[in-house]
Homo-oligomer: A and B are copies of this chain.
């Protein structure tokens, strides 16, 4: 199991933790979290594919993150600061997730190597967000799209195109045209 290898737990610790973990099967188009809910620590995706997104005041939705197998997905701000969440977390495919709740939280905080792992995850997250900001500030829709399929090739094949558009911050129509242009240019 992925968590085992990557959180640096001992076999004993795993054995103690496992029976307390709450596994959840979520079918396509159902929600793990809604705007206004309080987000638990996080969800870990064993199989399937999830997304998190917000809906702004004009009704448009913006995808924050995709989470395929072995990814974590969460509203960190809501979980950490105990605030109601601003995001939805929804299954794009039938999925199996592990709910990392308060119990898990308290448990792993006792594990020596946890703090380092956690800091790594946070630092990584920050790097990722910063890259996305840079892209949004500087790059055209086309460049952002190419970046996306380079970084997440498997995700880009599994989600509908309008979701990629939402992640990139463009309309589905625009993304369709970007792709058309790219295809044309490839022929010549």
User: Which residues of A are in contact with B by a Cβ distance under 8 Å?
Assistant: 54, 56, 58, 60, 62, 64, 76-77, 80-81, 115, 118-119, 122-123, 125-127, 129-130, 132-134, 136-139, 169
Contact of A56 among B62, B129, B134 (CB under 8 A): B134
Docked pose: A125 CA to B122 CA in angstroms: 10
Docked pose: A62 CA to B131 CA in angstroms: 12
Known: A76-B123, A77-B127. A133 touches B136 (CB 8 A): yes
Establish whether residues B126 and A169, one from each chain, have CB atoms under 8 Å apart when the complex forms: no
Establish whether residues A122 and B126, one from each chain, have CB atoms under 8 Å apart when the complex forms: yes
Instruction: Return chain B residues, CB-CB under 8 Å to A132.
Output: 133
Establish whether residues A130 and B129, one from each chain, have CB atoms under 8 Å apart when the complex forms: yes
A102 to chain B, nearest CB (A): 16
Establish whether residues A126 and B76, one from each chain, have CB atoms under 8 Å apart when the complex forms: yes
Known: A129-B130, A130-B129. A62 touches B137 (CB 8 A): yes
Docked pose: A115 CA to B111 CA in angstroms: 14
| 30 residue pairs A–B, Cβ–Cβ below 8 Å | A56-B137, A56-B138, A56-B139, A58-B138, A60-B138, A62-B134, A62-B137, A62-B138, A64-B130, A64-B133, A76-B123, A76-B126, A76-B127, A77-B123, A77-B127, A77-B130, A80-B119, A80-B123, A81-B123, A81-B127, A115-B115, A119-B119, A122-B122, A125-B126, A126-B129, A129-B129, A129-B133, A132-B133, A136-B137, A137-B169
